[in-house]
Amino acid sequence: MTHFSSGLSLNPDAAVALDEALSDSAEDADLAVLFVSHHHLRRVPELVRQLRGSLPGSVVVGCTAAGVIGADREVEDSASLSILTGSLPGITLTPFCVDPSGGAPSVEAWRDHLGAAPRGCLLLSDPYSVDLQQVLAPLGEALGGAPLVGGQASGGRRAGTHALFAGEEIAWGGLVGLGISGPIQIETRVAQGCRPIGAPMFVTACEGNRILSLDGRPPIEALREVYTGLSPVDQALFHSALSIGVQMRDQREYHPGDFLIRNILGVPRDQRGLAVAYKPERFGIVQLHLRDAEAARADLEAVLRIEGPSPAATLLFTCVGRGEGLFGEPDHDSTAFRERFGDVPLCGLFCNGEVGPVQGVPYVHGYTSIFASFHDVA
């Protein structure tokens, strides 16, 4: 049977913080997942060496982030680190570190990275050097339906300002991760933070990252029509919390949760179309969304109410656009998890994009919390 422990420290001395976070960890741990706030960025090589010295038999994986999560806390603006350690008898952990400069790995290359018969994969990437959209399809195929979970590192503002590590490797770009095989199940719960407004629309013309027409009209006309039909409260949100939802799959009807949330970058200087934070496809279906705390609360509550046993441990990948800035209170998602499942070891980070499956297919999400829970298998 697996045994997990988690720890969190806000000590500004990185070495002391790691010792504090490891206080409940077993020395024979097989796995150590470490998330480090960007305040400790340049100390990462020392921290990884220290961690390997403290837990010499463990496979180490992790990255830096704008904030970390653990022990019912979501630390967004302070030096901190969070760790999850686990003793995993009979389970094989296969770490990998991939340099994307040669292009996205093929399905066969991913199978080599993941090890035999993976039951799941943890994936962490650098947002400045990896296009996750190109990675997910071959990696998902290599996993054969096993869950893929993770997120993009955060806190840095340019290339080379995120640290990622797995096994013996430390990288300042690319992606790292862990193939997990053996008697363990990874259950995922995906909670979004936006609600749809207006009706779904077709992208009828696009170029690069610009939408040039929606339902045959200039995008600004389509947005103006949606805006005029909103309540005064939603009209205020429209100016500060507007996003665009992109269809995940073809279907006849669309409901909340059926779209991937992407940022709207604005109207370019040449006034041609609407710039968005993805590459739209002609005849793709989109719908405008508003980031909304009440909708995010309701979706999180619904996701956590889904029946299931308490996990042995959980990793939480949440968006930098959630947290106190969205909910107006600290520790929202971690507190909701604790109220549902009790004293389960929890470790996580704030991401620049969250990776998780919907109906078995992995996607990059935005303004989302993804809970990846570990369960023993008899």
- Domain spans in the chain, listed from the N-terminal domain onward: 3-192+296-376, 195-291
Residue 378 pLDDT > 80: no
Residue where the block lists tokens 């600290």 = 330
Phi and psi, residue 233, nearest 5° = -65, -45
Q: Which of 265, 294, 269 is nearest to 280 (CA)?
A: 265
Q: How far is the C-alpha of 204 from the C-alpha of 178, rounded, in Å? A: 40
Token output for 251: 């279907």
Q: How many CB atoms lie within 10 A of CB 181?
A: 18
Residue 254 pLDDT > 70: no
**Which residues is 289 bridged to in the sheet?**
196, 243
Residue 240 pLDDT > 70: yes
Q: How far is the C-alpha of 81 from the C-alpha of 331, rounded, in Å? A: 15
Q: Which of 301, 328, 295 is nearest to 197 (CA)?
A: 295
**Which residues is 118 bridged to in the sheet?**
181
pLDDT, residue 133, reads: 85
Are 318 and 68 a contacting pair, CB within 8 Å?
no
Q: What's at 254, amino acid-wise?
A: Y
Of 214-218, 240-244, 252-256, the one with minimum mean pLDDT is: 252-256
Exposure string (b/e) for 49-86, b if CB count within 10 Å is 16 or more?
Answer: ebbbebbeebbbbbbbbbbbbbbebbbbeebbbbbbbb
DSSP state of 276: E
Are 247 and 284 a contacting pair, CB within 8 Å?
yes
Tell me the pLDDT band of 285, cut-offs 50, 70 and 90. very high
Q: Which of the following CATH numbers is that of domain 3-192+296-376: 3.40.50.1820, 3.40.50.620, 3.30.1330.20, 1.25.40.340?
A: 3.30.1330.20
Residue 81 pLDDT > 90: yes
Residue 217 pLDDT > 70: yes
Find the helix or strand (DSSP H, E) in which 181 lies: strand 175-181
Q: How far is the C-alpha of 72 from the C-alpha of 75, rounded, in Å? A: 10
What integer is the mean pLDDT of 60-86? 97
pLDDT, residue 112, reads: 94
Residue 251 pLDDT > 70: no
CA angle (270, 271, 274) in 5-degree steps: 120
- pTM for the whole thing? 0.93
3-state secondary structure of 304: helix
